[in-house]
C-alpha cells in the first residue's frame, strides 16, 4: 500500500489540516482506508439520538414504547413504557368516549344549519385517530427499533467508507419543533372554538388539542426522517465526487465498490422509511381524505346561503389537513428522487480509462437503477407528488357525487314546499 497522501496534492482546502498517524498494519489489501482528520474525532450522534426531543414528546402521549439500551446498540421494547402507554390509552379512551357521546347528541338533536352539522361530524372523525394511533405503535414498535438499528449500522458504514462522520444536525430543529407543535395545536383548537357555532364544551378542547398535537408530531417526525435521508445522500454524493479524482486507478476501483455498498444500504433505508410505520401513516391518509372531503362538502353545499364565520372554520380544516398531506408527499418525493434518479444521472456522466474502474462504475450505475428508492406504505400506496395528485382527484370525484345528492335533496325540498303552498292557496 502506498504511503499517506500529502494534503497539498490535488486537495483544495482553505486551511491546512493536521492528520492523525496512519496505522499501516490495520490496512487491508482489498480495502481503501481513509485517514480521518483530528477535527473529526468527536463521534457524531446517530439519528435516534438526534430525534430524541420528538421521540420523548411522543412517549408522553403513549407512543413509541421502546428505549435505546446504550450508545451503538439497537432499540428494544420497554416494558415500563408499554405499561404507561396502556394506562394512557385506557384513560384517554374514557375521555374520548364522553367526547363521542357529546358529538353524537349534538348530531342527533341539531336544529342548526347543514354546515354546523358537518362541523360536528368532522369533529367526530377527529376522535377516531385515538383508537388506532397507540395500538399501531404497539404493533410497529419492533419495526421502528429495527429501522433505527439499521440507521446506526449505516452511519458506521458511512464512517468506514468516507472517513468522516455523518452529521445530520437535526437536534436543534427537533427541539424547536417540539416547542412549536403543541402551541400550533392549541392555537388551532382555540381559534376553531371561537369561530364555530357547534356548541362545543370547554372540557372537549383538551381532547382535540391532544389529537392535533399527536398528528402534528407525526408529521414532524416524518419530515425529519425524510430530511435525514436527503442529508445522508448529500454526504455520499459530495464525498464521492470530491475524492473521485484523488485516487490512483488501483485504489479507485475498490473505493467505488465501497460507495456502491454504502448507497445500497441507504436505498434500503429509504424503502424501509415507508414500511416501519405504514399502518400509522396509512390511517392518517384515510383520516385526511375524509376530513378534507367533508369540510369542502360542508362549505360548498351551503355557500349559496351566504359566507359566514363557520365557513371559515371549515376552510381552515381544509388548509390544515391539506397542508399535512402536502408536507408528507413532498418531503418523501424529494428524498426518493435525490437518493435514486438524481444520483444515478450524475453517476452516468463519470468515466475512466481503467478497465476495472469502468466495471465498478457500471455496477454502481446498475445498482442505482435496479434498486428502488421509492417510499411506499407497506406496498399499499407510493408516497410522492403523484400521491398528492391522486388524493385530490379521488376527493373531487367523491365531492361531486356528494354535491349531486345534496342538490337533489334541495330540489325535492323546494318542490315539496311549492306543492304545499299551492294546495293552501
Tell me, yes or no, whether 98 lies in a domain: yes
Residue 24 in any domain: the answer is no
Confidence category of residue 15, pLDDT binned at 50, 70, 90 = very low
Of 50-59, 111-120, 252-261, 361-370, the range with the lowest mean pLDDT is 111-120
In a domain, 43, yes or no: yes
* Residue 21 within a domain: no
If one counts every other C-beta atom within 10 angstroms of the C-beta of residue 322, the result is 19
Asked whether residue 29 is assigned to any structural domain, the reply reads no
State how many domains the chain has: 1
What residues make up the domain containing 68? 35-424
Torsion sign, CA atoms 33, 34, 40, 44: negative
Q: How many CB atoms lie within 10 A of CB 218?
A: 21
Q: 223-240 burial, b for 16+ CB within 10 Å, e for fewer?
A: bbbbbbbbbbbebbbebb
pLDDT one-digit tens code per residue, 81-100 = 888 999 999 999 999 999 88
Tell me 244's DSSP state: G
pLDDT of residue 8: 42
Question: What pLDDT, on a 0 to 100 scale, did the predictor assign at position 266?
Answer: 93
Residue 351 predicted with pLDDT over 60: yes
Provide the percentage of residues in the chain whose pLDDT is more than 70.
76
Q: What are phi and psi of 419, to 5 degrees?
A: -65, -45
Q: Which long-range contacts (CB under 8 A, 24 or more apart) does 364-369 make?
A: 364/256, 364/259, 364/260, 364/263, 367/260, 367/263, 367/264, 368/263, 368/267, 368/340, 368/343, 368/344, 369/344
Residue 130 has pLDDT above 50, yes or no: yes
pLDDT score of 256? 86
Q: What is the mean pLDDT of the chain?
A: 78
Q: Which percentage of the chain shows pLDDT scores above 90?
A: 22
pLDDT at 109 over 90: no
Q: Is the pLDDT of residue 166 over 80?
A: yes
| Cα angle, residue 314 at apex, residues 113 and 293 outer, rounded to 5° | 100
266 assigned to some structural domain: yes
1 domain residue, yes or no: no
Q: Which of 187, 173, 180, 190 is nearest to 217 (CA)?
A: 180
Between 137 and 107, the higher pLDDT residue: 137
pTM greater than 0.85 (yes/no): no
- Extract the C-alpha cell encoding 192: 376553531
Q: In the predicted model, is pLDDT for residue 31 greater than 60? A: no
Please report the pLDDT score of residue 119 as a whole number.
74
Number of Cβ within a 10 Å radius of residue 2:
8
Q: Is 355 within the bounds of a domain?
A: yes
Report the alpha-carbon angle 231-233-239, nearest 5.
Answer: 100
Lowest-pLDDT choice from 34-48, 246-260, 280-294, 388-402: 34-48
Question: What integer pLDDT is reported at residue 223 of this predicted model?
Answer: 94
C-alpha angle 418-422-425 in degrees, rounded to nearest 5:
140
Report whether pLDDT(32) > 50.
no
CB 216 within 8 A of CB 327: no
Q: Look at residues 46, 295, 262, 294 and name the one whose alpha carbon lies nearest to residue 162.
A: 262
CA angle 364, 369, 371 (to 5 degrees): 90
**Locate cell 450524475: which residue?**
346
Amino acid at each position: 500500500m502506498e504511503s499517506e497522501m500529502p494534503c497539498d496534492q490535488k486537495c483544495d482546502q482553505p486551511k491546512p489540516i493536521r492528520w492523525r498517524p496512519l496505522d499501516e498494519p490495520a490496512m487491508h489489501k482489498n480495502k481503501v482506508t481513509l485517514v480521518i482528520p483530528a477535527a473529526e474525532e468527536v463521534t457524531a450522534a446517530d439519528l435516534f439520538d438526534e430525534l430524541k426531543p420528538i421521540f420523548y414528546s411522543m412517549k408522553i402521549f403513549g407512543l413509541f414504547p421502546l428505549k435505546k439500551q446504550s450508545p451503538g446498540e439497537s432499540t428494544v421494547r420497554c416494558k415500563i413504557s408499554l405499561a404507561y402507554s396502556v394506562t394512557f390509552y385506557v384513560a384517554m379512551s374514557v375521555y374520548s368516549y364522553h367526547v363521542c357521546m357529546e358529538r353524537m347528541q349534538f348530531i342527533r338533536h341539531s336544529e342548526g344549519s347543514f354546515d354546523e352539522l358537518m362541523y360536528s361530524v368532522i369533529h367526530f372523525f377527529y376522535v377516531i385517530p385515538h383508537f388506532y394511533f397507540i395500538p399501531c405503535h404497539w404493533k410497529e414498535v419492533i419495526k421502528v427499533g429495527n429501522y433505527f438499528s439499521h440507521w446506526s449500522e449505516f452511519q458506521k458504514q458511512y464512517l468506514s467508507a468516507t472517513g468522516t462522520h455523518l452529521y445530520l444536525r437535526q437536534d436543534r430543529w427537533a427541539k424547536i419543533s417540539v416547542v412549536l407543535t403543541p402551541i400550533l395545536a392549541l392555537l388551532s383548537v382555540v381559534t376553531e372554538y371561537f369561530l364555530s357555532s357547534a356548541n362545543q364544551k370547554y372540557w372537549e378542547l383538551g381532547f382535540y388539542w391532544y389529537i392535533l398535537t399527536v398528528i402534528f408530531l407525526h408529521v414532524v417526525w416524518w419530515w425529519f426522517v425524510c430530511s435525514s435521508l436527503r442529508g445522508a445522500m448529500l454526504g455520499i454524493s459530495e464525498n464521492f465526487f470530491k475524492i473521485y479524482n484523488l485516487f490512483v486507478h488501483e485504489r479507485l476501483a475498490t473505493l467505488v465498490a465501497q460507495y456502491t455498498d454504502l448507497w445500497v444500504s441507504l436505498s434500503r433505508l429509504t424503502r424501509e422509511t415507508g414500511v416501519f410505520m405504514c399502518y400509522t401513516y396509512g390511517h392518517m391518509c384515510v383520516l385526511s381524505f375524509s376530513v378534507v372531503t367533508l369540510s369542502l362538502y360542508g362549505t360548498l353545499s351551503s355557500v349559496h346561503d351566504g359566507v359566514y364565520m363557520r365557513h371559515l372554520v371549515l376552510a381552515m380544516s381544509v388548509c390544515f389537513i391539506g397542508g399535512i398531506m402536502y408536507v408528507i408527499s413532498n418531503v418523501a418525493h424529494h428524498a426518493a428522487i435525490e437518493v435514486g434518479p438524481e444520483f444515478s444521472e450524475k453517476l452516468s456522466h463519470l468515466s475512466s480509462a481503467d478497465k476495472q474502474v469502468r466495471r465498478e462504475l457500471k455496477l454502481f450505475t446498475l445498482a442505482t437503477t435496479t434498486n428502488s428508492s421509492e417510499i411506499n406504505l407497506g406496498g399499499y400506496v407510493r408516497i410522492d407528488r403523484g400521491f398528492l395528485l391522486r388524493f385530490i382527484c379521488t376527493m373531487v370525484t367523491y365531492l361531486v357525487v356528494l354535491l349531486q345528492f345534496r342538490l337533489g335533496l334541495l330540489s325535492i325540498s323546494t318542490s315539496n314546499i311549492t306543492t304545499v303552498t299551492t294546495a293552501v292557496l
